[in-house]
Structure 1
Amino acid sequence: MNHSKRLFEQWEKIGAFILIAFIVLIMLFPFYIVFLNAFKTPVDYAQRGPLVWPSPFSFQGISNFWLRVDFTNKLMNSFSISLAVAIIAVGISLLNAYALGIGRIKGRTILLVLFVVANTLPHEALVYPLYYLAKLLKIYDRQIAVILVFSVIQSAFGTYLLSSVYASFPRELLEAAEVDGCTKTTTLFHIVAPISMPTLSVLFTFFFIWTWNEFFLPLILLISNNRQTVPIAISVTQGQHNMDATMASASALLGILPCLIFFFIFQRTLTKGITAGSLK
């Protein structure tokens, strides 16, 4: 009986592994296609199709796209905007969550509901108000407009997440800090923030990647070519009636690569933050 049970468990593990491997292959297949066609010439693509290994490897599509959109400038724009949003949004989330989750201010539940609702609003619903607000504040077509907008949007999610974490923060630590004469500011930056650093690191990583991939609002708020971001640059390879598939693949590869590099750099931090689960 025990032998049959062990055998069943082994086959169960093998089946789960095969299923996961199959799902991973399905998810990676589009990236594989993009990689193949990014290193093909238009002639090679037209003659041999999208699924054949490039022969020979060509950097023509990547070079043409890089020069066509001034990709170095777009990289710097996306990096500076995403980094600024990630830092500011994490800071706002920390301050808000400290007041809501630990300070337990009045109307906490209503405020959290408002943050959730704000986070679920589609960007299309925000276009007109944000456009006229940017015009009014004279920050239209400036990167500060995008930074401010996404800092608020991302911090709505961060506030909701951190508030639920801080609701179970060890009260004895806060009481001990109060007995030692710590102010609320000292408690926040010397006790609460260091203990919750894994969760803050997760938020920072996600905020950076989410902002990097944003297309719609930067398209509306940034109309000057030298201020636009990577996702907008990628869109220029797609015309109404024709499209260079190799250049489009090259643009997609260059758009994905920075996010992957950033993710792998912070992979260990991200893993620690997720496995931490809750504060101890």
Structure 2
Amino acid sequence: MTATSVEPPIKAPSRARRRRDPSNYVVLAALIVLVLVMLIPFVIVVFNALKTPEEYSTNGPLAVPDGIHLQGLKDFWERVAFGEKLLNSVIISGSVAAFAVILSVLNAYALGIGRIKGRLWILVLLLMANTLPQEALVYPLYYLSKQVGLYDTRLSVIIIFTVIQSAFGTYLLSSVLGSFPRALLEAARMDGASTWQVLWRIVVPVTRPTVAVLLVFFFIWTWNEFLIPLVFLTSNENQTVSVALGVLQGQRLMDATMSSASALLGIIPTVIFFLIFQRTLTRGLTAGAIK
């Protein structure tokens, strides 16, 4: 006769394990309060954008609108030619995001994997470039754009922000690619892969989550920029959304409801973009080390 082994019964989790830590509820409550506090300004803007000027002056900014009034949104859209400004922002932000990511990948590939001479000093220089305020760059860039004939063109802003954003992207990706598994690279080279094939077929697919996060951040950061577009885009047909909002509000040509409508129209595109790429951000931020 052969002895049969009997598996011990699985113990049910004890009550101590099933009990939730009270601190978890405290953290959850604090997060809920934080979310509500952050949403209050957005809700107020939406309320005031849907009011009429008479309703705003009678009930105040915190009252719930009696109905949905879109006249303020329509008036603002027509006054600033918002469709044109929206297209300019999309072109500039999208171009900067794409070009800055490509430039960051190429630079980081040389610094992180290529191990060129002076790598540490180059990274220090890029880190210092990220700390420079834009006010210190405005006049030299303004003079240079005048000399090369790019002033008051969207191309000038695209070039400037591509360089600025790629400095951060290069610094970040260089640290990521510095720990890239060498065995994987050697195996690809032994199979006859060229340098470009190693980059586009091995390095870029592996680092795709980080690259996707940079693409989203570069787009949002460029969309929200104000100082450099204000200085370099003086023509009305070249202005971005942020510049149009700032210039029109500075001229005091809008009432309170139209100001709220302008703020709402300026926020909606970035919110939509963020919601579309929310999963991309989540995957990129939660991705661990390169495997």
Counterpart of 1:148 in structure 2 is 159
Q: 1:13 Cα deviation (Å)?
A: 1.1
Q: 1:253 Cα deviation (Å)?
A: 0.6
Q: 1:5 Cα deviation (Å)?
A: 8.4
TM-score of the two chains, using structure 1 as the length reference = 0.96
The partner residue of 1:92 within 96, 100, 103 is 103
Q: Following the alignment from structure 2 to structure 1, what is the Cα–Cα distance between the partners of residues 260 and 231?
A: 25
Residue 127 of structure 2 corresponds to residue 116 of structure 1? yes
Question: Residues 94-136 of structure 1, C-alpha deviation per residue, up to 9 Å, x if partnerless?
Answer: 0000000111111111000110111111111100001001001
The more displaced of 234-243 and 132-141 is: 234-243
The more displaced of 55-64 and 154-163 is: 55-64
Q: 1:3 Cα deviation (Å)?
A: 6.0
Residue 282 of structure 2 corresponds to residue 277 of structure 1? no
Letter in 2 for 1:217: I
Q: Where in structure 2 are the equivalents of 1:154-169 lying within 5 Å?
A: 154-169=165-180
Aligned residues: 278
TM-score of the two chains, using structure 2 as the length reference = 0.92
Tell me the C-alpha RMSD between the 2 structures.
Answer: 1.5
Counterpart of 1:53 in structure 2 is 64
Q: 1:242 Cα deviation (Å)?
A: 7.4
Q: 1:24 Cα deviation (Å)?
A: 0.9
Q: Which is higher, the Rg of structure 1 or of structure 2? A: 2
Q: Following the alignment from structure 2 to structure 1, what is the Cα–Cα distance between the partners of residues 101 and 190?
A: 29
Secondary structure, aligned partner of 1:37: helix
Counterpart of 2:257 in structure 1 is 246
Q: Where in structure 2 are the equivalents of 1:81-230 lying within 5 Å?
A: 81-230=92-241
The partner residue of 2:49 within 38, 41, 51 is 38
Question: Residues 64-120 of structure 1, C-alpha deviation per residue, up to 9 Å, x if partnerless?
Answer: 110000000000000000000000000000000000011111111100011011111
- The answer as to whether partners of 1:42 and 1:246 remain within 8 angstroms in 2 is yes
Q: 1:239 Cα deviation (Å)?
A: 3.8
Q: Following the alignment from structure 1 to structure 2, what is the Cα–Cα distance between the partners of residues 5 and 162?
A: 41
Question: Residues 242-270 of structure 1, C-alpha deviation per residue, up to 9 Å, x if partnerless?
Answer: 75111111111111100011111111111
Percentage of matched positions with identical amino acids: 58
Counterpart of 1:65 in structure 2 is 76
- The answer as to whether partners of 1:237 and 1:248 remain within 8 angstroms in 2 is no
Return closer, same or farther for 1:14/1:25 CA change in 2, 3 Å cut-off. same
Q: Please, which runs of 5 or more residues in structure 2 have no aligned partner?
A: 1-13
Q: Following the alignment from structure 1 to structure 2, what is the Cα–Cα distance between the partners of residues 109 and 27?
A: 40
Q: 1:10 Cα deviation (Å)?
A: 3.2
Letter in 2 for 1:110: W
Return closer, same or farther for 1:52/1:199 CA change in 2, 3 Å cut-off. same
Q: Following the alignment from structure 1 to structure 2, what is the Cα–Cα distance between the partners of residues 241 and 198?
A: 44
Letter in 2 for 1:264: L
